[in-house]
Amino acid sequence: MIIDKLIDIANERSNGRKIKDIRIGVGYTCVMLDDGSSGLAYTFVNELGPCCGQLEEAGSMIGRDCTSVISWGKKDNILKSTVGVAAINAVIHSGIQEYETGNIINEVKNLNSYDTFGMVGYFRPIINVVKQTGAKTYVFERSGKYEGTTVPDWAIEMYLPQCDVVIITGTAIINKTIDHILEMCKNAREVYIVGPSTTMSYEAFEGYNVTKLAGSLVVEPKKALEVVSQGGGTMMLKDAIKNISVKVKGK
């Protein structure tokens, strides 16, 4: 599984760093390490439930070796998985030296009316641009609350293999659906994994037909912690993060 690769990579690069702070907000979760390196991951608030929304380890995580939390990335407890992926992102993103800047929207501007576009998750700004291209569009969304071209996520196997260009939310790493989704993207010419939860590790995604990883580098850790703990989302984090992308080798 991809999450296994990410855990191994993060553990190798952890260098004995400790957890300095953890904030679990209603929009995102942020983990800060003792050297200031920080990572984000989406908080699945609607899926926590009355019991899974609580951590027995609460109050005892600060000062722990970050590897003890990194391993949570594979937990079936969605909140622990979220904390784990945020810790993975804190470690891996702190070592990124080569990356591109710019908006991932530019990658879909050249779609044509004969293309079929698929989006797993919902990014309104991207959809607004895709609509202007005339491409046939499928948006796979679990909640089903969006109108127009939205189809339920269980329809991925029916329609995703038909898509030429695909954008996948990085939250699929947290809930471990990313491997199955990528299996359905074998016919696509371009595949992008997008959003603040995306782990920018090209090594983990080699061989999966992924073109580019587009995520967020936390550049103002204290600001990110404040925004997350006060219930902020992506837009409120804009001054604390830098949107970057990394090409997957071989693409």
Is 249 a member of any domain?
Answer: no
For residue 26, the domain's CATH number is 3.30.390.100
- The answer to whether the CB of 167 falls within 8 A of the CB of 142 is no
Domain count along the chain: 2
Do residues 110 and 91 both lie within one domain?
Answer: no
Residues 6+ apart with CB under 8 A from 153: 120, 140, 141, 142
Is 250 a member of any domain?
Answer: no
Is 243 a member of any domain?
Answer: no
Do residues 85 and 113 both lie within one domain?
Answer: no
Q: Taking phi first (over 0 means left), then psi (-120 to 50 degrees means alpha), and beta for anything else, what does residue 148 get? A: left
Distance of alpha carbon 166 from alpha carbon 188, whole angstroms: 7
Calculate the dihedral angle through the C-alpha atoms of 129, 135, 136, 139, rounding to the nearest 10 degrees.
-30
Structure confidence at residue 251 (pLDDT) = 58
Is 251 a member of any domain?
Answer: no
Structure confidence at residue 20 (pLDDT) = 98
Q: Residue 142 CB: number of other CB atoms within 10 A?
A: 15
Do residues 212 and 138 both lie within one domain?
Answer: yes
DSSP 8-state code for residue 169: E
Is 245 a member of any domain?
Answer: no
Structure confidence at residue 183 (pLDDT) = 96
Calculate the dihedral angle through the C-alpha atoms of 124, 134, 144, 182, rounding to the nearest 10 degrees.
-90
Do residues 14 and 85 both lie within one domain?
Answer: yes
Structure confidence at residue 58 (pLDDT) = 87
Do residues 75 and 157 both lie within one domain?
Answer: no
Is 48 a member of any domain?
Answer: yes
Do residues 87 and 115 both lie within one domain?
Answer: no
For residue 211, the domain's CATH number is 3.40.50.11590
Per DSSP, helices labelled H in the chain are 2-12, 49-52, 67-70, 78-93, 124-133, 156-159, 171-174, 178-183, 202-205, 221-229
Structure confidence at residue 50 (pLDDT) = 63
Average pLDDT per block of 10 residues along the chain, 251 residues long: 98 97 96 98 82 77 96 95 98 93 87 95 90 93 64 89 97 97 96 97 95 96 97 94 90 58
Is 149 a member of any domain?
Answer: yes
Is 179 a member of any domain?
Answer: yes
Q: Domain range for residue 226? A: 2-95+220-232
The answer to whether the predicted template modeling score (pTM) of the entire model surpasses 0.85 is: yes
- The answer to whether the CB of 10 falls within 8 A of the CB of 37 is no
Largest Cα–Cα distance in the chain? Answer: 55
Do residues 116 and 55 both lie within one domain?
Answer: no
- CB-count exposure of residue 206 (10 Å: 0-12, 13-18, 19+): middle
Chain centroid to Cα 100, Å, comes to: 17
Do residues 144 and 46 both lie within one domain?
Answer: no
Do residues 211 and 107 both lie within one domain?
Answer: yes
- The answer to whether the CB of 199 falls within 8 A of the CB of 89 is yes
Structure confidence at residue 46 (pLDDT) = 77
Do residues 106 and 88 both lie within one domain?
Answer: no
